[in-house]
Amino acid sequence: MSQGLTTTSYALLGLLRFDDATDSSGLTGYELKQRADNTLRFYWVSPAMSQVYSELSRLTRQSYVEAVADTGGGRTTHRYRITQAGRDALQAWLATQQPEFPILKHPVALRLLMGRLGGDKAMASMLQGYIDALAQRRTELDAVRDRLGQREAVRYAAMVADWGLAYYDAERDIVTELLGRLSSDAR
């Protein structure tokens, strides 16, 4: 009935669309979650396992995805593939809806706002911790970027990864500058 899916639904549908372009026989919920953790999590979300399954059943109900039972081993598992209706829906979503502005939930900035209560030293160590965490994330994303290489097939994914890397670098630079301000202002 209601054709309006959530963005997370479309994101997962998009991952299934990528898989569709290969000669794979579909993805299990478990595998889909891994794909999401690899790419989506850097600029969207890492849905919980349970949500992956519930989105998958929702998409199946909408006929945007079809499940093929895989009775190979002892337990029956399912492999999910995007359908033609799903491809159409994804295409339509991309073409019609104009994207919303990004949502940022930045606990570090929020705490810095209340810096008066914590003091310069506490803020400085918090910012340093954030710089470290950024470096860690950057390393993870860099590994993803390396795997993509220069292949034409993943050109857009590579652009998005480069975007993420540049974002982490910019954050590092800005925070480093703020850190300098904290120590030079120290009374």
Partner DNA sequence: TGTAGCATGTAAGCCGTTACATGATTGA
Partner DNA sequence: TCAATCATGTAACGGCTTACATGCTACA
Residue 187, Cβ density class (10 Å: 0-12 exposed, 13-18 middle, ≥19 buried): exposed
Interacting span for its own copies (CB under 8 A) from 47-55, 58-66, 128-136, 138-146: 128-136
Whole-number Å distance between alpha carbons of 187 and 113: 19
Which CB atom, from 50 or from 91, has the smaller least distance to its own copies?
Answer: 91
Give the per-residue contact string, 59-98, with DNA (x = CB under 7 A; - = no).
--------------xxx-xx--------------------
Interacting span for DNA (CB under 7 A) from 5-13, 110-118, 162-170, 179-187: 5-13
Q: What is the full DSSP assignment across 130-178?
A: HHHHHHHHHHHHHHHHHHHTT-GGGHHHHHHHHHHHHHHHHHHHHHHHH
Interacting span for DNA (CB under 7 A) from 51-59, 87-95, 164-172, 174-182: 51-59
Whole-number Å distance between alpha carbons of 176 and 178: 5
- Are 126 and 112 in contact by the 8 Å Cβ rule? The answer is yes
Q: Does 49 bind DNA (CB under 7 A)?
A: yes
Q: What are phi and psi of 164, to 5 degrees?
A: -60, -45
Which CB atom, from 42 or from 80, has the smaller least distance to its own copies?
Answer: 42
Which CB atom, from 78 or from 145, has the smaller least distance to its own copies?
Answer: 145
Which residues contribute to the site for DNA (CB under 7 A)?
A: 6-9, 28-31, 45-51, 53-54, 57, 73-75, 77-78
